[in-house]
Structure 1
């Protein structure tokens, strides 16, 4: 196949790019290794909701319907994306996985399990959460219960009556802990690192709107301005067994490329004793978990909410002296369009990742259109 632009991945970023390319009248093809669009959303746990409001979480040229709540549920996001696909007549080539993307004689050659695709431009849209990190704890082979990555978790009902250790304190870990409690399990969270926690809403207003207002400022300045309000709303997390990061949430995004925790009720449950907090895991022996702070406890199951990695470094082959490290190159379009290679959906933005995806998708399409014309 020979095409002007190839989009790799048909989840949120890929769909946004496809619609934006259509608006610019650009010929494209979009491939997806799964058998449906937005495959990760079909696999996510049942309780999942967007942590950012629908006002700032829609894709280009189509908003969420007015009857959808401020924070859409997982199934509502899936339905929106299916409607988006239909509205723009996006027809991905499903069950088609890219194994290699190389630039040869001025064009990009993409090797898939079905065919070879030649294109002038390539947009990588496989996402920042494409591949679960490997679960490993010293002694885990002796654990008699279930140990699963959070990507395999579906509902707390599967763990009702059990004492469950949730390893991690990201947004997924925090919501999974709530779900476990609500479904009759006894959740304990293992938190190794320092954290930043911000409320999802401030006086009824999504905190994302506050981030957008502060975004023009340098992150340390914006953090300094918002610090008193965050402390008032969240309180002293040290009393809860958590350690505060030495810098604020906006600086964290810029410096570490990681989002702070948007609290959807976890802190309240910790204060009420519904969710316990432990330190990092040292090792496991049978059903006993030994923590680095010296504490010991027995568990029936372990959910490892330890994050994901991108797969770009496995697929895209470029000369490092021209492109640098691909893990760096996906950071906010540092190598935007270099030799016709683009990335969409990898930047953790203080103003919301889906909002950033929508903006980047339109920028990419306009840039390609400008090069064609």
Structure 2
């Protein structure tokens, strides 16, 4: 069954910050896209995040094109402010968004893309996938995990910080998700808290001497990656001292390189390191296995946390969409031409899938504008 009898110029999949940015960029090129969104309204995925969530990127680089947050919004906007920002942008621009339409797969022969959804099939000359990086919470298949008698949650399911009062908690992973959780736990009177690390994270303070460090991100983004590696390492040392004295593995000072090559975001401290230095949070070796009563660490130590929070980030949901088109490599990563979202399949683009030194908002805008210009040129031929 065809959901739409005509062939659309462009279909955008997803109406989050990346999808809205893509729709705006296409309109700027004279193209009116159809936006498909599986949820019932804009901002639903943000609404699922824990209520304490605050952006790690500064307000000045974390807004949609031509928009700003209301007066009084904090330097680092909170979850509800971001949701309101997205909804106001969608209301103002009135893009054609079809809610409740879940895309199942993409296919293409010699003609347009066939976009299979639960409601039927659409066709488009070009497709922009903007479903976001944080689609599928990832928990490692630890040995014995099914026997554990405590509670295991992903960082995405963190919930209210006050729910952890008096509880013993093991946070596994020291990336962006892990430090977000730790920052909030540091403000709650919990029981023992442990942080399990495999490697020392790239870590920056949210503020240094009252200055919002992230305001320097546009300057940092213009510098060579290896230089930024050193600058992040120096800033980390100035802000926190020698973290190895507090149990952190030796640092590699490669945070910007990992961001560029492996898409690992730089973590941000907003209270966790101070709690570690006070002994409220203990840094421990990697987790190797679970048992009924607790967790076994790499050095043989056993811990008995009531709650384990897996802070291993997210996996994308791109495989069903890109796999049939041959746009996914053997490791499950998109086959891209360059760094701005153009895939190996002509007419298929990704927007909002890469972290950057500035913000997802800025990176999505760069990718969306590049895609929109390229699509417009193709359609004029």
Q: Give the TM-score taking structure 1 as reference length.
A: 0.92
Q: Quick check: 1:3–1:27 contact (8 Å CA) kept in 2?
A: no
SS at structure 2 position matched to 1:372 = helix
Alpha-carbon distance, 1:14 to partner = 0.7
Q: CA deviation at 1:353?
A: 2.1
Name the Cα RMSD after superposition: 2.2
How far apart are residue 282 of structure 1 and its match? 1.7
2:295 maps to which of 279, 289, 305: 289
Q: 2: CA distance between counterparts of 1:73 and 1:233?
A: 24
Tell me the secondary structure at the aligned position of residue 98 of structure 2: coil
After TM superposition, list the pairs within 5 Å mapping 1:207-222 onto structure 2.
207-222=213-228
Superimposed CA distance per residue, residues 118-167 of structure 1 (whole angstroms, 9 cap, x where no aligned partner)? 00010010111111114532222222222111222211222321101111
Question: Using the alignment, how far apart are the partners of 1:5 and 1:162 within structure 2?
Answer: 50
Answer whether contact 1:238 1:244 (CA < 8 A) is retained: yes
**Following TM superposition, by how much is the alpha carbon of 1:336 offset from its aligned partner in structure 2, in angstroms?**
5.3
Is 1:77 the counterpart of 2:82? The answer is: yes
Moved more, 178-187 or 144-153: 178-187
CA displacement at 1:220 relative to structure 2: 1.1
Alpha-carbon distance in structure 2 between the residues aligned to 1:340 and 1:99: 18
Question: Offset of 1:319 from its aligned partner?
Answer: 5.1
Whether the aligned pair in 2 keeps the contact of 1:5 and 1:120 (CA below 8 Å) is yes
The unaligned stretches of length 5 or more in structure 2 are: none
| Map 1:130-141 → 2, pairs under 5 A | 130-141=135-146
8 Å contact 1:195–1:244 — kept in the other structure?
A: no
- Residue 262 of structure 1: CA displacement? 1.6
Give, in whole Å, the separation in 2 of the partners of 1:216 and 1:73: 27
Distance 1:204 1:107 in 2: 53
State whether structure 2 residue 24 is matched by structure 1 residue 19: yes
1:1-373 to 2 correspondences below 5 Å: 1=4, 2-186=7-191, 187-225=193-231, 227-317=233-323, 320=326, 327-329=333-335, 332-333=339-340, 335=342, 338-373=345-380
Please say if residues 7 and 122 of structure 1, whose CA atoms lie closer than 8 Å, have aligned partners that are also in contact: yes
- Give the stretch that moved more between structures: 362-371 or 344-353: 362-371
Moved more, 179-188 or 142-151: 179-188
Cα displacement string for residues 298-331 of structure 1 (whole angstroms, at most 9, x for unaligned residues)? 11111111111111122124554x8866614357
Q: CA deviation at 1:265?
A: 1.9
Corresponding pairs, count: 372
Q: Distance in 1 between matches of 2:46 and 2:112?
A: 33
Q: What is the alpha-carbon distance in structure 1 between the residues aligned to residue 365 and residue 344 of structure 2?
A: 17
In structure 2, how many angstroms separate the alpha carbons of the residues matched to 1:235 and 1:129? 32
> CA separation in 1, counterparts of 2:164 and 2:230?
41
User: Structure 2 length as normaliser, TM-score?
Assistant: 0.90
Structure 1 residues 334 and 359: CA distance shift in structure 2, 3 A = closer
The Cα shift of 1:108 comes to 0.7
Q: CA deviation at 1:84?
A: 1.0
Alpha carbons 1:323, 1:335 under 8 Å: kept? no
Q: Deviations 1:196-232 (Å, cap 9, x if unpaired)?
A: 1122234444333333213333211233355434311
Change (3 A) 1:217 1:118: same
Asked if 1 retains the 8 angstrom alpha-carbon contact of 2:54 and 2:77, the reply is: yes
Greater Cα shift, 17-26 or 201-210 = 201-210
Distance in 1 between residues matched to 2:158 and 2:234, nearest whole Å: 36
How far apart, in 2, do the equivalents of 1:262 and 1:178 lie? Answer: 9
Distance 2:83 2:239 in 1: 32
- In structure 2, the CA distance between the partners of 1:258 and 1:290, relative to structure 1 (3 Å rule), is same
**Separation of aligned partners in 2, 1:225 and 1:306:** 25
Aligned-partner Cα distance in 2 for 1:112–1:319: 16
